Chains A and B, each alone.
Chain A
Amino acid sequence: MTETSGTPAERAAALADAARAGDRRALARLLTAVENHTAVAEQAMRILYPLAGGAHIVGITGPPGAGKSTLVAALIAELRAAGRTVAVVAVDPSSPITGGALLGDRVRMQSYASDDRVFIRSMASRGHAGGLAATSTTAATVFDAAGFDIVLLETVGTGQSEVEVAAAADTTVVLEAPEMGDEVQAIKAGLLEVADIVVVNKGDRPGAQRTAAQLRAMLAPAGDTGRGRSGRRPEVLITTAMTGDGVPELLAALDRHRAAGSADDAPAARRARAAAQVRAVLVERLWDRLASPALAGETEAALDAVARHDSDPYAAADALLAALGGEEKA
């Protein structure tokens, strides 16, 4: 089997072919390679990236306990009923102390074990702070290229400013629970600003209607400045993910947003996503070169000098960039 032997490029090609042909184990292996930043993952992306772009990438974010996983499970049911294939990337936080993680999102997504058209992958954030793992966008691309119709990107429980998911997704859904805050919360900058759709979940709780009404009022554009994200007001919906109430309406809203997006701000969103992806790889590559044997000594010395306050971060960065330039000329 060439999946486990040969050069990284050969293994990547074998895994990518198998994953695209429906081999779920090969798909799982590719995702592991992506998570671990291996040479196979990089080679696989060269094959898969040009093949991706057909899936609807949907970000689902919101505070811990708002019901993200339960809503994802309800959405899976709705999508399967419509005959669509679904992949889920569910991110939970890694411990900053031990590096360990408890990935518990599958608990709410149990019903699809024998359904080959549903693939759920948990990811630990591994120190990445924006609400996703550093590799979540790449994982979504792998699912996309493997032919899934829709990829649901579920973030860690977020606070007010983890807006990274908006760059990773075509459509961003921000979940709120009833009575989570007053009108002032709704006009603060951050998470709600990047929402394409706002969902008040736990709609059977008292206060859900009032929370939705407040959000609708406060998320309306404050005069047409033309500067908001696409200048549109996000739809505000109410769901009860536990029972499935409101979920068909949410799916319809997702489809509407996607249809509108293709004519509207999608090129800008795709450009922003491309920038974020290239930037991430660029930073990683720079660090790798700075840690290479030729430059490791200089890098360590520069970091030590900053730690001692003998130098400052700006001077150190300039010196290291100059060292990289010297390496190129050599």
Chain B
Amino acid sequence: MTDRPLKVLIAKPGLDGHDRGAKVLARGLRDEGFEVVYTGLRQTPDMIVTAALQEDVDVVGMSILSGAHMTLVPRVCEQLRAKGLGDVLVTVGGIIPDDDIEPLRVAGVSGVFGPGTTIREVADFIRANATPREA
């Protein structure tokens, strides 16, 4: 453990307008001691990757309820790797069918969190799996 906070980007890719979950998570992770960059609704993969790069985050968390995760999430993972950010932990939350979990893992997603996940579970997962940035 380091004594400085881990930095987490919470983004909502795609076109659905349901950001309550993302906001609750952002607030919850704040209370768990993370520095949370919240970027809001309707993020393109380009916007998410640019924010991850400029903010030098340890974790990218995407909240997605529209069903477009199989299109958008692998694209974010690819672009992160292309920008040299392959070591950033990627997690996805929302309505993700079981069949999609394995392909998302293959694409580069480390954690998939469905309905009923507690904030504490997400926080513990991040603490256990994120690689803190070094410079």
Give chain A's interface residues, CB within 8 Å of chain B: 4, 11, 15, 24-25, 28-33, 35-36, 38, 40-41, 94-95, 98-104, 106-107, 110, 113-114, 119-122, 124
Establish whether residues A28 and B50, one from each chain, have CB atoms under 8 Å apart when the complex forms: no
State which of B38, B51, B135 has its C-beta within 8 Å of the C-beta of A33.
B135
| B35 close to chain A: CB less than 8 A | yes
Question: Size class of B's contact patch?
Answer: 20 to 34
Taking CB atoms, residues of chain A closer than 8 Å to B27 are 102
CB distance from A293 to the nearest CB of B (A): 18
User: With the chains together, A29 CA to B135 CA distance in Å?
Assistant: 6
User: With the chains together, A15 CA to B135 CA distance in Å?
Assistant: 9
CB distance from B52 to the nearest CB of A (A): 9
Establish whether residues B135 and A101, one from each chain, have CB atoms under 8 Å apart when the complex forms: no
Given contacts A33-B135, A98-B31, A102-B30, whether A107 and B84 have CB atoms under 8 Å apart is no
State which of B26, B46, B54, B55 has its C-beta within 8 Å of the C-beta of A102.
B26
Given contacts A30-B135, A106-B51, whether A100 and B31 have CB atoms under 8 Å apart is yes
Given contacts A32-B135, A38-B135, whether A100 and B30 have CB atoms under 8 Å apart is yes
Taking CB atoms, residues of chain B closer than 8 Å to A31 are 56
Establish whether residues A113 and B56, one from each chain, have CB atoms under 8 Å apart when the complex forms: no
| B17 close to chain A: CB less than 8 A | no
Please give me the residue from chain B that is nearest to A3 by CB atom. B135
- The interface bits of chain B over 48-77 (1 if a CB of A lies within 8 angstroms of the residue's CB, else 0) are 001101111000000000000000000000
Establish whether residues A101 and B39, one from each chain, have CB atoms under 8 Å apart when the complex forms: no
| B133 close to chain A: CB less than 8 A | yes
What are the 5 A-B residue pairs with the smallest beta carbon separation, nearest first? A33-B135, A113-B47, A107-B40, A100-B30, A28-B56
State which of B32, B38, B56, B83 has its C-beta within 8 Å of the C-beta of A32.
B56
| B44 close to chain A: CB less than 8 A | yes
User: With the chains together, A320 CA to B110 CA distance in Å?
Assistant: 50
State which of A29, A38, A94, A102 has its C-beta within 8 Å of the C-beta of B38.
A102
Taking CB atoms, residues of chain A closer than 8 Å to B47 are 110, 113
- The interface bits of chain B over 107-135 (1 if a CB of A lies within 8 angstroms of the residue's CB, else 0) are 00000000000000000000000000111
CB distance from B28 to the nearest CB of A (A): 9
Taking CB atoms, residues of chain A closer than 8 Å to B34 are 100
CB distance from B13 to the nearest CB of A (A): 12
